[in-house]
Chain A
Amino acid sequence: MSTPRPRISPQSIHKIAQLAKLSVSDAESDQLAAAFGETLEVIDHLRQADVADIPPTHQVTGLENVWRDDVVNDEQSLSQSAALANAAHTHQGYFVVPAILNHKTRQDQPDNEPSP
């Protein structure tokens, strides 16, 4: 019963948020750190269980390595217009994606514009 309550710092929350591609404000990170502590306390009950020689359960159906033929299923295929129908931005039949390269790396662009 002497296990200390696990703590996650707001800095760690920012780091995890970066991994999860979420933006978190400073105010949020404080709240999230508190919620993390509460949740980790619950999770820590797991340590009371004796799991020596117990294998993990990843599935409960008994099915493993389910294969299908490597063929195109027309029913599951989308037309180009159906595939693009829900995209916020398209261009000549393509999805438009945010730039992932910094303007700074390109010689022909000014480097004082924020990247999107």
Chain B
Amino acid sequence: MTSLKTPSLPNRLTIAQALELLRAKQLSHQELYQALRQQISQSNDQLNVYLAQEPEAEEIAHRYADLPLKGLPLAVKDNFSTQRLVTTASSKILDAYRPPYESTVTRRLQQAGGVVLGKTNLDAWAHGSSTETSDFGRSLNPRNTEYLPGGSSGGSAAAVAADLCLGSIGSETAGSIRQPASWCGVVGLKPSYGRVSRYGVVPMGSSLDSPGPITKTVEDAALLLNAMAGHDPLDATTSPQAVPDFTRALGQSIKGFKIGVLYLDTPGLEEVAPVYHHQLQVLSELGAELEPASGLEPRLAISVYTVVQRGEVSSNLAKLDGIRYGRDRSYFGGEAKRRILLGTFTLSKGYADKYYVLAQQVRTLFVQDFERLFQRYDVLVSPSTPGYAKKIGASEGATMFGELEDMLAEPSSITGLPGVSVPCYRDEASNLYLGLNVVAPMWREDLVIQVADAFERHTPWNCWRSPDWARSAHADNNRSPNHD
């Protein structure tokens, strides 16, 4: 870790940097939280990131000073139940809902010393990839406010990109962590399904939903995953698999890694494919063996995902009757209605075999396809999304907007695999980013962290890791020449 000067803007620190400075007593909670309050008051109205904020964040931070995360401020997607803050899932139905219990993820983060600074905007019920379906208005992409942040965890990704927190938490059903991370130029890690508890997360697709960190660096993602992961008796789908210390995968060589490159020849990626080919050379220069790999058509995963997700949505949202909590069903927005109805249809008598069972069979084909690929490769890499962030308004009237934007993440989502999106290019003119998606076998988050961290350390695309280097390297045709 590079040594740090006393920061003039502490909200721009990474989690790892802030921990180091707090430990060395070169930074106080007061300085940190004051900087955050200032930044939030400057930009939250425009970016529409936080739906609720913790009024006593700094006081709580003082109490957590001796815990591993030392009272650092985290932004949490507003579909995680928090007893102290209203939890809306960005829907009018839950606009006044104060959960009577805490989600396991936020409880564990707090036990580790993380402070829930605020709750971030998402597509309503996490249905979407833009935040444009939020009942409380869209968020904007801090890298360029004419563009969308992506979604559904768009508020969490934007909070990180705009330095409105030190790190954040999102949830991914298919792309909802990695796609907004890619669009906002930040790191988004989707753990293996079952690695992180869903207890207290407003459910979307119960066989898919995976909470995970969205952070400034891969190192920070490893630190937060350490605090979140592990078996939870309150979620029977969490795995009893042992949880390694994910920070041990940091700073490790990837020499000799066999890496399969997926999806670069997918129609629609013509514009960005050359950028990826160029950036992937870094991995070869670091000693990994790269070769083009072919997997099942990602568009087929859209079909599987659409059936499975809509079905699970219709049954999960059936419980909302406005009696015990929330408003009645007339408050559902258009996107939720479409999904509930389609799920009800595909699960109804006479259609369940035709659609739902068939989709689950094709899901098996994807599981088998990845098993085949991982016999040959340690990890797979691909673009995180088919392109850069889309402009404001792009999702409106586009029924399959999210599915198309998440297409490249969906094969690994329906199979439960871990993946991370790490910034891999910045377009100078628009200031928008592309992300590289690294996918590994089940329970091998350590491998995606190892490869993404190596990539991040040897490229200039992380604006926190080495901002000055990044700027000069940009002039130097996009890649630093000095790899080790």
Chain A positions within 8 Å of B, measured between CB atoms, are: 8, 13, 16-17, 19-24, 28, 32, 35-36, 38-39, 42-49, 51, 54-63, 66, 68, 76, 78, 82-83, 85-88, 95-98
Contact = CB atoms under 8 A, between A and B. Distances in A.
Given A51-B361, A57-B364, A62-B239, 4 more contacts: A21-B321, A61-B193, A76-B101, A88-B323
Contacts of B357: 56
A56 to B, nearest CB: 3
A46 B100 contact: no
5 contacts: A39-B310, A46-B307, A46-B358, A51-B361, A57-B367
A32 B335 CA distance: 10
Interface residues on B, range: 35 or more
B299 to A, nearest CB: 6
A13 B341 contact: yes
B293 to A, nearest CB: 20
B257 interface: no
Nearest to B239: A61
Contacts of B98: 85-86
Interface of B: 96-98, 100-101, 192-194, 207, 233-234, 236-237, 239, 299-300, 302-304, 306-307, 310, 314, 318, 321-327, 329-330, 332, 337-338, 340-342, 344-346, 348, 355, 357-365, 367, 399-400, 403, 415-416, 442
B361 A55 contact: yes
Nearest to A82: B100
A36 B416 contact: no
Contact of B365 (A20, A49, A66, A98): A49
A46 B304 contact: yes
Contacts of A62: 239
A68 B233 contact: yes
Given A57-B360, A76-B234, A87-B325, A46 B303 contact: yes
Contacts of B340: 20, 22
Contacts of A13: 341
A46 B300 contact: yes
Contacts of B360: 56-58
A42 B306 contact: yes
A48 B365 CA distance: 12
Contacts of A39: 306, 310, 338, 342, 399-400
A20 B365 CA distance: 31
A39 to B, nearest CB: 6
Contacts of B361: 49, 51, 54-57
A83 B357 CA distance: 37
Given A36-B342, A83-B324, A42 B237 contact: no
Contacts of A96: 323
A83 B101 CA distance: 10
Contact of B193 (A8, A60, A68, A87): A60
B324 A43 contact: no
A49 B345 contact: no
Contacts of B300: 45-46, 48-49
B4 to A, nearest CB: 40
